[in-house]
């Protein structure tokens, strides 16, 4: 594929990402994606011969990879895992406010819609979330959490953040995310069992 073809493919993915995050899977049609991307309609089936699901899957994976790279970068330099989640909270909050509360997590909107009806896209969403959780679990393991504890705590932290994103969009207010930020810190840093092992109780 030449440079022009790569650019066209990238525009289609970018258009799909923007629309499905704000409008959802069912609220976004291929004509809208083509119009949003500015790409020729014929190029859509050239790059994504399986149609809408293939394009949406590519958009979800790309968005998920970007978040995963952010988490990995923060995991290398943040003081603790709670700060890693805090940085992701900042990013999601900025996306919400910049989009007038139409965009937050790039995966959640589609995941909620298709979990019970589209196995292929459900699996993609699950794959993305698993990659994020793995980064957090690795960082927690480096902080002294056991394997099972790290797995559970990382899942709980993501659940707090994703649930707060839904509440923030519904309420059109940032407070649920701020509440989640404090809850994650309590979960990962100030838990009594961790403090008993000599971990700091505050930062």
In this prediction the pTM is 0.89
Tally of CB atoms within 10 A around 124: 23
pLDDT for residue 1: 60
Q: What does the block give as tokens for 47? A: 């790059």
Q: What does the block give as tokens for 74? A: 């923060």
Answer yes or no: are the C-beta atoms of 121 and 60 closer than 8 Å. yes
Q: Kindly list the distances between the CA atom of residue 117 and the CA atoms of 26, 48, 59, 114, 166, in Å, as whole numbers in the listed order.
A: 11, 21, 19, 5, 20
- How many angstroms separate the CA atoms of 203 and 197, rounded? 16
Place of tokens 């940032």: 174
- How many angstroms separate the CA atoms of 144 and 199, rounded? 9
Place of tokens 């994650």: 184
pLDDT for residue 146: 94
DSSP 118: -
pLDDT for residue 189: 85
Handedness of CA 38, 42, 47, 50 (dihedral sign): positive
- How many angstroms separate the CA atoms of 9 and 1, rounded? 10
- Enumerate domains of the chain plus CATH numbers: 56-195 (1.10.357.10)
Q: What does the block give as tokens for 201? A: 């109780």
Q: What does the block give as tokens for 104? A: 């937050």
Q: What does the block give as tokens for 61? A: 């994976």
Using 70 as the pLDDT threshold, list the residues of the chain that sit under it: 1-3, 190-203
Place of tokens 């960082």: 139
pLDDT for residue 41: 82
């Amino acid at each position: 594929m030449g440079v022009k073809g790569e650019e066209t493919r990238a525009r289609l993915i970018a258009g799909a990402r923007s629309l499905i995050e704000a409008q959802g899977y069912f609220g976004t049609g291929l004509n809208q994606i083509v119009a949003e991307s500015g790409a020729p309609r014929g190029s859509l089936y050239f790059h994504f011969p399986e149609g809408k699901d293939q394009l949406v899957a590519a958009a979800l994976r790309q968005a998920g990879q970007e978040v995963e790279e952010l988490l990995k970068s923060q995991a290398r330099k943040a003081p603790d895992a709670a700060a890693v989640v805090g940085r992701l909270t900042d990013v999601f909050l900025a996306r919400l406010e910049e989009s007038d509360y139409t965009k937050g997590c790039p995966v959640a909107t589609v995941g909620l819609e298709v979990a019970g009806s589209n196995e292929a896209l459900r699996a993609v969403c699950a794959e993305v979330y698993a990659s994020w959780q793995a980064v957090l679990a690795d960082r927690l393991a480096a902080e002294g959490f056991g394997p099972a504890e790290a797995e559970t705590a990382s899942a709980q932290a993501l659940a707090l953040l994703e649930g707060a994103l839904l509440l923030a969009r519904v309420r059109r207010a940032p407070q649920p995310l701020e509440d989640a930020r404090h809850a994650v810190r309590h979960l990962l840093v100030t838990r009594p069992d961790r403090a008993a092992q000599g971990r700091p109780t505050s930062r």
